[in-house]
Amino acid sequence: LCEPLVTEDYVVQSMPDVSPTKWHLAHTSWFFETFLLARYAAGYQPFNRDFAYLFNSYYVAVGDRHCRQNRGLLSRPTVEEVYEYRRHVDRYMSEWLRALSDDPPLQHEIAPLVELGLHHEQQHQELLLTDIKHVFWVNPLRPAYRKSPEPSPQSPSPMRWINFPEGLHWIGHEGESFCYDNETPRHRTFVESFQLGSRLVTNGEYQKFIADGGYREPRLWLSIGWAAVQEQRWQAPLYWIERDGQWLHHTLGGLRPAADDEPVCHLSYFEADAFARWAGARLPTEAEWEVACASLPIAGNLVESQAFHPAPAVGDAPLAQMFGDVWEWTASQYTPYPGFKPAEGAIGEYNGKFMCNQFVLRGGSCATSASHIRATYRNFFPPDARWQFAGLRLARDS
C-alpha cells in the first residue's frame, strides 16, 4: 500500500483524526512488540525505548503516550528507521513463533493475541488509505495516490425494496473463528418486519438531494447535525467540489467527476440520516442489517480488487453491495450487547471504552480486506466523521 508514496507523504497529519503513514506503520509493530514480545518473549530487547511512548495509541493501561493530535509534528524517527523497526519486530516475531512450537501451552495462550494483532494491522491498512486520501485532499496541488483511468459509466441496477418479516433473531458472533469482543455475546433481538434497499444510494440520487436544497433545510436534520452543517459549512459530501455546474470529487485516483452510478461516499451519519429522511425512508438498524446479511457470502468490491473506490451495483442479486464499496451507516448507536464483557487487560480498551456517542457501520468498504470483514462486524465512528469510505443503504418499515 505504501509503494506509491514518497518520503514526505509519510510525515503529514492533515487533521487530528488522521495519522501519518509512518505512525500507522510503527504503531502496528508496536502492538506486536507491546502485547507479545515484551510480555512473553524472554530476553526481547525493544528496538527503541521511546517508541513505547510515541506509538501507543490509546492504551492507558500500558503507559503514557504521545498526544494524538501531535503525531504530525515528528520528523524523527525517519521513514527508514520505522521500516527498520518493523523489520526488527517482524524478525523477532517470526523467530519466536517458530520457536514456540516447543511450547504448546504458551502457543495456545498467545495465539489469540497474534490473531488480534493481524486484524489490528488490517484495520490500520484501511486507515492508512483513508488517511493518505485526506492528506492529499488538503494539498492545493491535489496529488493522486495512484492515477487510474476514469471508469466508464454503467447503468446502475434499479433500487428495489426487499422484504424481511418480523421475528426474534440471534445477533452477534457465533463459533470459534476470530471476532472482536464487541460482536459478543450472541443474543436474541426482536426485529419488526422491515424493508431494505437492494443496493447502496448513488451519487446521482444524492445529487438530487443537494439540488432539492437538502443542505439548507433544517427540518431534515438532527439538531446537532444541523449545527454541524452550519458550523462546518457542509454543502456536499467530503471531497466534492462544484466546478462549472458539475460535481467533481477527489479520489485516490485523482480528481474526477462524481459518476451518477457510483455509491455516494464520504458522508457523515448526519448526512446519511438527513438523506434518508428526505427520501421518505430511514437508515437500517444494525440488527436489521445483520439479519438481512446473515446468509450472504463475503464478496464484493473489497481492498483486494485494488479499485480503492466504490463501484456501481451491477447484476440482479436481490441484495447487492452488502460487503465492500462503502461502510453503511446504521441507525444504531454503538452500545454493548447484553452480557458484553470487554477482553481482559489492556486489550479490553480496544472497543468497550468507545461505546458512547458513536454509530455503528456495517459491511466494510473498498479499503477493507475480505479476510477482515464479516456479517457480525461492528465498525463505529462519531456521527460527524466523513473521511472514511462511508455511505448508506435505505430501509423502511413494512
Nearest to 169 by CA among 293, 301, 49: 293
- Shortest Å, Cβ 111 to its own copies: 25
- Shortest Å, Cβ 69 to its own copies: 12
Distances in whole angstroms, Cα of residue 283 to Cα of each of 95, 238, 332, 391: 48, 20, 9, 11
**Rounded Cα distance, 128 and 138, in Å:** 16
- Shortest Å, Cβ 19 to its own copies: 14
- Shortest Å, Cβ 141 to its own copies: 5
Cβ atoms 359, 380 nearer than 8 A: yes
Nearest to 17 by CA among 74, 69, 55: 69
- CB nearer to its own copies: pick between 76 and 243: 76
Under DSSP, is residue 186 helix (H, G, I), strand (E, B) or coil? coil
> Using alpha carbons only, what angle is made at residue 65 by residues 60 and 66, rounded to the nearest 5 degrees?
150
- CB nearer to its own copies: pick between 77 and 324: 77
Q: Phi and psi dihedrals of 250, rounded to 5? A: -80, 125
**Rounded Cα distance, 131 and 137, in Å:** 10
- Shortest Å, Cβ 271 to its own copies: 13
- CB nearer to its own copies: pick between 217 and 261: 217
- CB nearer to its own copies: pick between 257 and 382: 382
Cβ atoms 361, 163 nearer than 8 A: no
- Shortest Å, Cβ 205 to its own copies: 23
Binding site for its own copies (CB under 8 A): 6-14, 50, 53-54, 58, 60-61, 66, 70, 72-79, 135-136, 138-141, 143, 168, 187-190, 192, 218-219, 221-226, 285, 331-333, 335-336, 338-339, 349, 353-357, 383, 397
- CB nearer to its own copies: pick between 96 and 209: 209
The residue length of the chain stands at 398
- Shortest Å, Cβ 379 to its own copies: 16
- CB nearer to its own copies: pick between 34 and 301: 34
Strand intervals (E) in 93-205: 161-164, 167-171, 187-191, 194-197
- CB nearer to its own copies: pick between 62 and 313: 62
The neighbouring-strand residues paired with 251 are: 254
Nearest to 28 by CA among 100, 68, 82: 82
- CB nearer to its own copies: pick between 153 and 345: 345
- Shortest Å, Cβ 198 to its own copies: 21
